[in-house]
Amino acid sequence: MDRIDNHTTVKQLQLGLAQGDFSSVELTREYLDRIQQLNPRINAFITVTEDQALAQAEDADNLIARGDGQAMTGIPLAHKDIFCTDGITTTCGSHMLENFQAPYSATVIEKFNAQHAVMLGKTNMDEFAMGSSNETSYFGPVKNPWNLECVPGGSSGGSAAAVAASMTAAATGTDTGGSIRQPAALSGITGLKPTYGLVSRYGMIAFASSLDQAGPMARSAQDCALLLQAMAGFDRRDSTSLQRDVPDYEATLEQDLAGLRIGLPAEFFAEGLNPAVAKAVDEAIEQYKKLGATIKDISLPNSKFAVPTYYVVATAECSSNLSRFDGVRFGHRCDEPKDLEDLYKRSRGEGFGAEVKRRILTGTYALSAGYYDAFYLKGQKLRRLISQDFAQAFEQVDVIAGPTAPDVAFKIGDKSDDPVSMYLQDIFTISVNLAGLPGMSIPAGFVDGKPVGLQLIGNYFDEARLLNVAHQLQLNSDWHLQSPEVI
**Could you give the residue numbers annotated as active site?**
80, 155, 179
CA distance 126 to 176: 12
Closest CA to 210 of 30, 436, 371: 436
Q: To the nearest whole angstrom, how small is the minimum distance from the Cβ of residue 272 to ligand GLN?
A: 16
Q: Which residues of 95-130 are buried (b: 16+ CB within 10 A; e: fewer)?
A: bbbbebebeebbbbbbbbbebbbbbbbbbbbbbbbb
Answer whether 124's CB lies under 8 Å from 93's CB: yes
Cβ-based nearer residue to ligand GLN, 105 or 176: 176
Extract the runs of DSSP E, i.e. beta strands, from 235-326.
261-265, 294-298
The β-bridge partners of 440 are: 192, 456
Q: To the nearest whole angstrom, how small is the minimum distance from the Cβ of residue 311 to ligand GLN?
A: 8
Q: To the nearest whole angstrom, how small is the minimum distance from the Cβ of residue 20 to ligand GLN?
A: 40
Cβ-based nearer residue to ligand GLN, 154 or 458: 154
463-475 vs 275-290: helix crossing angle, rounded to 10: 90
| Helix, strand, coil percentages in the chain from 3-state DSSP, rounded to 5 | 40, 15, 40
Q: To the nearest whole angstrom, how small is the minimum distance from the Cβ of residue 179 to ligand GLN?
A: 3
Residues at the contact surface with ligand GLN, assessed by CB under 6 A: 129-132, 155, 175-179, 207, 314, 426
Cβ-based nearer residue to ligand GLN, 85 or 425: 425
Cβ-based nearer residue to ligand GLN, 207 or 479: 207
Q: To the nearest whole angstrom, how small is the minimum distance from the Cβ of residue 228 to ligand GLN?
A: 18
Cis preceding-peptide flag for 368 (omega within 30 of 0): no
Cβ-based nearer residue to ligand GLN, 127 or 398: 127
Cβ-based nearer residue to ligand GLN, 17 or 198: 198
CA distance 337 to 334: 7
Closest CA to 399 of 480, 476, 452, 472: 472
| 13-to-27, 62, 108, 166, 474 alpha-carbon distances in Å | 9, 16, 21, 13, 19
Q: To the nearest whole angstrom, how small is the minimum distance from the Cβ of residue 380 to ligand GLN?
A: 18
